[in-house]
Amino acid sequence: MLEFAWWWVVFILPLPLLLRLVLPSKNVTNMAALRVPALRPSVSTTSTLPSKSWVKSIIPTLIWCLLVLAASRPQWLGEPVSIPNEGREMILAVDLSGSMKIDDMELRGRQVNRLTMTKAVLYEFIQRRLGDRLGLILFADTAYVQAPLTYDRNTVSTLLNEAVIGLVGEQTAIGDAIGLATKRFSEKEDSNNVLILLTDGQNTAGNITPEQAKELAMNKGITVYTIGVGADQMMVRSFFGSRQINPSQELDEDMLRDIAESTGGRYFRARDVSELEQIYSTLDALEPIEGETQKMRPLSSLFYYPLAVALILSLVMVFYKLLVTMFKQHTQSHSASFQQRSKP
């Protein structure tokens, strides 16, 4: 269906005619003219260009009408499309402490650190969250919002990919991350507030303790899912040869499990890429809050069509006037040279 957003603009359509009637007519002053002697009948000075009266009247009128039409903002309103009003508000809190650079993960056949593996798996998870508002919090010595809650999943993925270890310190402020996420959630009652916290250590910094942050999340009804990242076994080389160690011995699983269970969530353990992918597949199964279906009619602007035609006609007028001017100059030059040759 065609409609005009600014339909009232059509009232200025007769404006040029009104100005012509109201404004005083232009006085034509008789200028001294150069009298040209009569030429021989064999030479014609009559212009061979077609009459330009239609150029002076019809084309400018058409250009004005097209400009008014473009200014009225014609739009094409499509058929209604149903949009499900469902989803949740979800914040991802990712640990950037120094221990995240331990190379105890394998991704596509090569050894990578924990943050690289987290970015790779989280990217697929973020792209699947159609209908959810996603936010991103990065934490180490403190926590800060890297991406506020938004439907723009590509931006969240890009900002996560640009995160680097040690950006805000080397320690782990888990309590600050949960507390900051609690403050960033909106007050919507028809939306699930979900925090997914991924870390590989224990709380060693921050202004509030994990216990205090847990109480804040419980009071606001935020579901916290915690993920402990890190392998259980890793071979390291030393002066005396290779030996096996546990790179995740500092992971505080009891604290993470307590936070998750107290807020209605779950604690997951990710020892490799496949386990982390399985965790995010499990999180994908969360039931969203369904609301009333909304209707949207796609709107397409059409103003550039009449605007483009007006521009083309304006260029035609300019080229036509240039052509007329060049033809007149050529005719006058030819007449002057003929007169000089005809003198005795």
User: Cα angle vertex 116, ends 111, 119, to 5°?
Assistant: 140
In this predicted structure, what is the pLDDT of residue 236? 67
In this predicted structure, what is the pLDDT of residue 148? 93
Helix spans in 39-85 (H): 53-71
d(CA 94, CA 197): 6
Would you say the pTM of this structure is higher than 0.85? no
Helices 210-220 & 253-262 angle (0-180, nearest 10): 20
In this predicted structure, what is the pLDDT of residue 82? 59
Is the pLDDT at 80 greater than 50? The verdict is yes
In this predicted structure, what is the pLDDT of residue 332? 76
Domain 83-288, CATH = 3.40.50.410
Is the pLDDT at 247 greater than 80? The verdict is no
Is the pLDDT at 297 greater than 90? The verdict is no
In this predicted structure, what is the pLDDT of residue 41? 43
The two most distant CA atoms of the chain are separated, in Å, by 120
Q: Which of 134, 131, 154, 129 is CA-nearest to residue 145?
A: 134
Radius of gyration of the chain, Cα coordinates, nearest whole angstrom: 38
Residue ranges of domains in the chain: 1-15+53-79+297-326, 83-288
Is the pLDDT at 133 greater than 60? The verdict is yes
> Which of 100-104, 133-137, 220-224 bottoms out in mean pLDDT, i.e. has the lowest?
100-104
